Every structure is written in C-alpha cells, then in structure tokens.
Amino acid sequence: MTVREVILLGNPLLREKSSDAAFGKELETIIEDLKDTLIYLQRKKGIGRALAAPQIGYLKKVIFINARNSKNSRTMTLINPTIVEKSKEMIEVWDSCYSFDVAFFVQIKRHKKIKVEYMDENGRKIVEEFEDDLSELLQHEIDHLNGILATDHLKSGKDIIMREEWEKRYRN
C-alpha cells in the first residue's frame, strides 16, 4: 500500500516523455502505486477518474482508470497505450487534473472517438475503441505520457474556471 505524492503543474517532470514499460517487478510496483494513489485521491478529492504514471514520478507509459461513476463504468490498466485512430468529430469538455490539484477546469476540445492499442496487465495486446467520456479521458491520460497537459489545449484564457464555479454551473 503506497500512496504517492502527485506531481503538480510547474514541475518539469510533467513535461518529460515517458518510455515504454517492460513487464516485471518495476511495472508491478507502478501499477500498485497508481491504484493506491488513485483510490486515495478519489476519496480525498471527491472527483477524478484516472492517473498516469508520470504524475506519481514514474516516466513509464502506464495508466490506471477507475471511472466507475461515469456512464461508461470502467476499471482498467493500460500499458504502452497509443492512439491509432481519431475521429474528425470533436466534443467540447470541461477538463481538470490531479496535477492541477483539481483547483480549476479548462474547456477544451477532444476527439469524440479514438482507437487505442495497448497491453493489459496480463500482457495481452488489445485494440479498442472508446467514445465520449472514456475517449476524452484517455486522450487526457495518454497526453500525460507525452508531456502534454490539458492547459496546452486551451484556445483562450477565458476558458478557465475555478472548481467551485464548475461545481455550481456544470457538474452533473
């Protein structure tokens, strides 16, 4: 049981590119730490659906998702994910991040559908299509593996709001 500290916006580590993860002891530790940290954060912050390994200091391509409360309920680990197809159709979303301490939200555009190639915890290669909330979530998390943050997608500084205002105006 290891809850790790989340690296915050401004830390240059968040801008690094992660490398492919290899199966073995280190990967097991990363997955365990991601799970422990995400469950802890979801309880503490009352919000959030996923965590990427670089956010807790491992520059490896690993993502853990626990999106049980969204309409496409899903718990999964993605190892070495890459987006192999993106829809032309875009959706507008309010996005935040544990690395922003979920203090503010940004309104940005994401692809409505994506196809992702990844490995699961058992090393099985999977190609899967995601739509709407899971699609935008995975785009956010895969961005982390490439050193990209949600704020990089902002078109205007007017599309930033504090969490309190988001809760009042936009939370379902």
Catalytic annotation present for 141? yes
Shortest spacing between CB 124 and Zn ion, in angstroms: 26
Task: Give the list of residues 6+ apart from residue 10 with CB closer than 8 angstroms, or none.
Answer: none
| Catalytic residue of the set 5, 28, 131, 141 | 141
Nearer to Zn ion, 97 or 116 (CB): 97
Laid out side by side, the sheet with 113-119 consists of 50-52, 62-66, 75-86, 113-119, 125-131
Calculate ∠ Cα 63-102-45, nearest 5°. Answer: 85
Q: Which stretch binds Zn ion (CB under 5 A): 5-13, 31-39, 91-99, 125-133?
A: 91-99
| Residues near Zn ion (CB under 5 A), total | 1
Q: Is 97 in the site for Zn ion (CB under 5 A)?
A: yes
Catalytic (active-site) positions: 141
Chain residues that interact with Zn ion, rule: CB under 5 A: 97
